[in-house]
Structure formats: structure tokens, C-alpha cells
Structure 1
Amino acid sequence: MHSLHKITLLATVFVVAISLVEAFFLARRARQQGKAYPWHEMGLSLADMAGRKLMALLPLSLATPIFALAWQHRIFTVEINSALAVLLLFLGQEFCYYWYHRASHRIRFFWATHAVHHSPNELTLGTAYRLGWTGKILGASMFFAPLVWLGVRPEVVLSTLSLNLLYQFWLHTTWIPKLGWFEKVFNTPSAHRVHHASNVDYLDANYGGVLIIFDRLFGTYVEEREDEPCRYGLVHPTTTHNPFVNQFEHWIGLGKDMINAGGLLNAIGYLLMPPGWAPDGKGQTTEVLRQQQAMERAVAVSAR
């Protein structure tokens, strides 16, 4: 356990140091171009990390009883003591991660936390560790409980998830180009730029962690296009410099919508339907935004 904490500390120091090096480089380039670098974005990411470290001290998580129940009723006891076991754990974890990440975009209850990760209006390495303070309490890791039920120890599942997230650190860049054949199988900076883009054509795509194969399998893979430069941030961009606003504005918005829903079913709809959903069908879900864009493009073509 002591070794695990030491490794975690070293990994944290590493990612923060590298992200700051990138930030100084980007700030210098921005200054040469006569622009101001948004240092507040780095500040919000560092505040997010500090807050999550504090939240980790609280023994509160919806995932804890779910993991305990899954382990109590496990159907096997799996020892990770062979190359095949490692490979199967990796593939199982990637499968669970895909559905966790997809749910985080398509269920507003989970999006209220995950939106924090997508709030930066520029994609930098600092974005990688802006993950939201409320994730642990609300038990996002419950999506990995099937692995525990199959017999993988909870601490092994969570450690594997940590390695997955560490891999994703380098994906949050704009300066690494496409990587040829690597794009076919693995998640890359190019694929992840699409994931972080708020362009209508790019919304709700590329959910993979280390691999991109499940996106290809389930139809959510979208390739980065030269004719469609990525526009980062949320569909409705946030410009706050306040870490508390950054962390809780989506929860406050969700709460207001549920209070004013006009009925229990509508309130549940706001909680469980995709971001932008409205009971009257006039919301701004990804599907609605794409319909609107298609109509605008059709009108533009017919007007030529």
C-alpha cells in the first residue's frame, strides 16, 4: 500500500510538471503572437486536482457498497498471475471504461461531473486532470463493478483504471499529429481532440480509454477532419475563473431544471436523459443540434 501511494505521488508530480512545461511553452508562443495565455485554465485544473485529493479523504462513495456487494457475490476469484489474465483484465476494463465514458456524456446525472473535464476552452495537458470533485462521491467507478463480480479484486480494478487515466494524459494535446496505423486500434491525441470538440459533427464521439476499437465497434468513432477544425470547450462555453462555479454550475442547473420540471417524470427525465433534453422536445441534445445543422445546410445548398 505504501508503494502504491508513492507511485501515485510520483505520477501526480510528473503530470503536473509536464503540463506546466507545456503551459510555459504555449504562453511564450502566445506572447510572440501578441495574445494573452489563459493561465486561469491551468489554475482551475490545479484547483480541481487539489479538491479531488481532499475529497479522497472522505469515506463516501456510492461505488463502495456496490463493489462490496459484487465482491461478496463474485462468481470466481481471479488471480492476475499470467499474461492471458492481464490481457483479459485490460480488455474487460476497456469495455467497462467505454460504457462509463459514454454514460457520462449521455446521462445528465453523470454529465454534471464530467462536464468539468470538458469545460476548458483550450485543450492542454492540464485538461487531463480536471476531472470534477464529485466523481468519487457519486460513484462513477460503479461501471467497473462487473469486473469485481467476475472475481477481480476491487483494488486491482481501481489500480487498472488509474493506469488507464494515466495513459490518457498525453492525449490532451493539439500539437501531436495523426499517428498512422496507431489510429486504427488505439486512442490518440487526434481521436481525443474530436472527443473534446464542441463542433456539432464531433459531439458524443470517441469514448475509448487506451483503445478506440469499441468506438469503431459500436459506431461512435469520428475521425478528425482538416476541413472541420476542433472548437474546444462546451457547447455553451464557460468563462468562469472561479473553481467553485466551474465545479458546481452544472449541478445547480440540473437542480433548477428538476425543481421546475412540473412533475416527477419530467424531473427524472432531466436526471437520466442526455444533457440538453427537455420534456417538450425543444431542448438542445446532440440529436436536435444535428437536425438543426442539417436543416441549415440544406437551406444553404438550396439558396445557391
Structure 2
Amino acid sequence: MPDFPNIILYAIPFFMLAMLLELYVTARKQIKTYEPKDAFSSIAMGLGNVFLGFASKALVLLVFFWIYDNFRLLEIPVAWWSFVLLFFADDLSYYWFHRISHECRLFWASHVVHHSSKHYNLSTALRQTWSGGFYTFIFWLWLPLLGFHPALILLQMSISLLYQFWIHTEAIHKMPRWFEAIFNTPSHHRVHHGSNPIYLDRNHAGILIIWDKLFGTFQPELEEEKVTYGLVKNIKTFNPIRIAFIEWLHMFKDAFTGRKSLKSRVLYLLKPPGWKHDGTGKISDDLRQDWINSKKHL
């Protein structure tokens, strides 16, 4: 088994230094982006994610190796060209994981953690799920099946996560045009964290923004539409435990209480956030269309 380092652990000191630098730069630019309680909540969520990651990664490796050892279709060696192939395969997997995490409430229940801050800074990148690591890896199962070594897959997943740290900032307005056209950037990802109707469920990219452009989920940051960060309905808490599990409680309450059909109960797990069995709810597409219609009448 290849001996790859846990690069996320090695990167923790860099994360801390980068946040201090960002705080200095944004203060100089008079951008109020940090709020102490919010930042500490994000850091606590990140530490919890790292701690639980030891268990979740053990599960992921177990499943990946089971598929790799028993069902792999090809023998892909650990070589430079396999890294290149895996880079694109992993990034495509991340795109669909991320997109489904916004379009299916069962996955949103864990992913909502990352969107629960009303602030946007490098500490927000650390606001990670405590539950998602135990089941969202299913979007990567095709990689060991194809023949990529499990250790190589986990390394590339870590590289992707590491890349996405720096794009959580307001200190960088725009990157060069060629970079904005190909890669995920702070501007693209600010859109993703917006609760403005036009920005909802857009720019799901990990490293490459090309997937959003290819699959129709790209939205540029508009100068006339300043991003409002957070959720459509914010959770209003800094308690890490509540942040980690409050959407699970809401989802199970919607699915398993009250008088409704079995089909409706299942759909509360599978439909997008905002869906209601009685037709009174509005999902992101509805909110976006309402926004577009309102602009047409101005």
C-alpha cells in the first residue's frame, strides 16, 4: 500500500496563519468578515471533523479496498498519468456529490453545516460536517471499481479539500480571466455560499469550474447583486452540536411525524430542501424563478 501523508493534518498550521493574514488584509480593506463567535464555531466544527475523520476514513478505506480487491475492472498503477486521470475523475465525483448534497435533503442534512455561517472567510472553510464522511463517499465508489488504488483516491480527495480552503475569502476579488474560466475561485465560490435566490444551488465545483459550465449550474458573481451569506432560513446558533445535527432533527421531524403517506415520508428524505408534501414549500428553483419574475416587472 502506498504510504501517502495525511496532508490535511500537515496543513493545519498553514490554515491558522492564513486566517491571521486574511484578518489583517480584510481589516486594511475595511471588510468586516470575521465575527468571533462564528469563527470559533467554524473552527470547532473543523476540529470535530478531523477527529471523526479517523473513524470515517477507516470505513471509507475498508469499503474502497473491498471493492478494489474483489471487483476492480482494470489494473491502474500508481504513476504520474494515473494521478492526472484521477484528478479529473475525483473532481467530477466531487461535483456530483456537491450538487446532490444541495438537491437531496438526506445529503443536505450533513452538508448544510458548511453553509450555516452568515460570514465568509477562511474559517468558514473549516466548518465541516460531522456526519457526511460516513456515507457521502458513495459518490467515489466507481473509482476503486474502475481500478484506482484506494490510498491514491483518498490522497486526491484531500488535495481537493485543501485547494478549496483558499477560495473561502472576500480578500480576493477576481483572479485572472483565464483562471476564472477554468478553476473554482473565491468569486465563484462566494456565489455558491449566497442565499440570494439567483445564487442558490450554483457553482458546485471542487477545483474545476468547467463542470458547472458543462452541466448548467454556473452562475457568475454579479456586481449589482452583492452576496448575502448563509441559509434561506438561518439556524441562529453558535453551538457546534446544534450546527452539526439540527437539520437531521428537522428532516426526521418532517418525515416521521404528522399524518402523511409513506410516499411523502420517503420524499422528505429524497426531495430538495424546502419541499413540502402539501405543496406549500418552495425549493431553490422556485425561489430563483420568483426572483427572475420580480426583476422582469421592475
What TM-score does the superposition give when structure 1 sets the normalisation length?
Answer: 0.89
Change in Cα spacing, 1:21 to 1:60, as seen in structure 2 (3 Å) is: closer
Instruction: Kindly provide the CA deviation profile for residues 158-199 of structure 1, in whole angstroms up to 9, marking residues without a partner as x.
Output: 110100010111100112122212111111111111111111
* Cα distance in 1 between the residues matched to 2:12 and 2:43: 11
Q: Secondary structure at the match of 2:141?
A: helix
How is 1:77-88 mapped onto 2 (pairs within 5 angstroms)? 77-82=75-80, 84-88=81-85
Q: Which stretch of the first structure deviates more once superposed, 283-292 or 101-110?
A: 283-292
How is 1:165-184 mapped onto 2 (pairs within 5 angstroms)? 165-179=161-175, 180-184=177-181
* Cα distance in 2 between the residues matched to 1:206 and 1:37: 23
Change in Cα spacing, 1:206 to 1:149, as seen in structure 2 (3 Å) is: same
What RMSD in Å do the two structures reach over aligned CA positions? 2.3
Name the structure 1 match of 2:281: 283
Structure 1 residue 86, shift from structure 2 partner: 2.1
Report the residue type matching 1:169 in the other structure: F
Q: Is the 8 A contact 1:195 1:202 kept in 2?
A: yes
2:193 to 192, 196, 200: 196
1:252 to 246, 249, 262: 249
* Cα distance in 2 between the residues matched to 1:161 and 1:58: 16
Name the structure 1 match of 2:261: 263
* Cα distance in 2 between the residues matched to 1:285 and 1:265: 19
1:53 to 50, 53, 72: 50
2:239 to 221, 227, 242: 242
Structure 1 residue 224, shift from structure 2 partner: 0.6
Instruction: Kindly provide the CA deviation profile for residues 255-276 of structure 1, in whole angstroms up to 9, marking residues without a partner as x.
Output: 1101125122111101011111
Structure 1 residue 207, shift from structure 2 partner: 0.8
1:209 to 188, 206, 209: 206
Q: Is the 8 A contact 1:113 1:132 kept in 2?
A: yes
Structure 1 residue 141, shift from structure 2 partner: 1.7
* Cα distance in 2 between the residues matched to 1:256 and 1:235: 19
2:99 to 79, 82, 102: 102
Q: Is the 8 A contact 2:56 2:133 kept in 1?
A: no
Q: Is the 8 A contact 2:192 2:201 kept in 1?
A: yes
Change in Cα spacing, 1:68 to 1:55, as seen in structure 2 (3 Å) is: same
Q: Secondary structure at the match of 1:181?
A: helix
Structure 1 residue 290, shift from structure 2 partner: 2.2
Q: Secondary structure at the match of 1:169?
A: coil
Q: Is the 8 A contact 1:96 1:144 kept in 2?
A: yes
Structure 1 residue 10, shift from structure 2 partner: 2.0
Q: Secondary structure at the match of 2:231?
A: coil
What is the aligned length? 294
- Relative contact order (alpha carbons < 8 A, sep ≥ 6): 1 or 2 greater? 2
Runs of 5+ consecutive residues of structure 2 not aligned to the other structure: none
Structure 1 residue 48, shift from structure 2 partner: 0.7
Instruction: Kindly provide the CA deviation profile for residues 202-240 of structure 1, in whole angstroms up to 9, marking residues without a partner as x.
Output: 111111111011111111111111011111111112321
Name the structure 2 match of 1:12: 12
Q: Is the 8 A contact 1:67 1:142 kept in 2?
A: no
Structure 1 residue 61, shift from structure 2 partner: 7.4
Structure 1 residue 126, shift from structure 2 partner: 0.6
* Cα distance in 2 between the residues matched to 1:278 and 1:129: 31
Q: Is the 8 A contact 2:33 2:119 kept in 1?
A: no
Name the structure 1 match of 2:294: 296
Identity %: 39
Change in Cα spacing, 1:277 to 1:119, as seen in structure 2 (3 Å) is: same
Q: Is the 8 A contact 2:78 2:149 kept in 1?
A: no
Change in Cα spacing, 1:212 to 1:25, as seen in structure 2 (3 Å) is: closer
Report the residue type matching 1:18 in the other structure: A
* Cα distance in 1 between the residues matched to 2:162 and 2:152: 15
Structure 1 residue 2, shift from structure 2 partner: 7.5
Change in Cα spacing, 1:29 to 1:256, as seen in structure 2 (3 Å) is: farther
Change in Cα spacing, 1:126 to 1:89, as seen in structure 2 (3 Å) is: same
Structure 1 residue 36, shift from structure 2 partner: 10
Q: Is the 8 A contact 1:118 1:233 kept in 2?
A: yes
* Cα distance in 1 between the residues matched to 2:77 and 2:147: 8
* Cα distance in 2 between the residues matched to 1:203 and 1:36: 21
Which 4+ stretches in 1 moved above 4 angstroms? 59-66
Instruction: Kindly provide the CA deviation profile for residues 134-175 of structure 1, in whole angstroms up to 9, marking residues without a partner as x.
Output: 1222x2122111111111111111110100010111100112
What TM-score does the superposition give when structure 2 sets the normalisation length?
Answer: 0.90
Runs of 5+ consecutive residues of structure 1 not aligned to the other structure: none
Structure 1 residue 24, shift from structure 2 partner: 5.7
Name the structure 2 match of 1:154: 150
* Cα distance in 1 between the residues matched to 2:161 and 2:202: 18
Q: Is the 8 A contact 1:61 1:136 kept in 2?
A: no
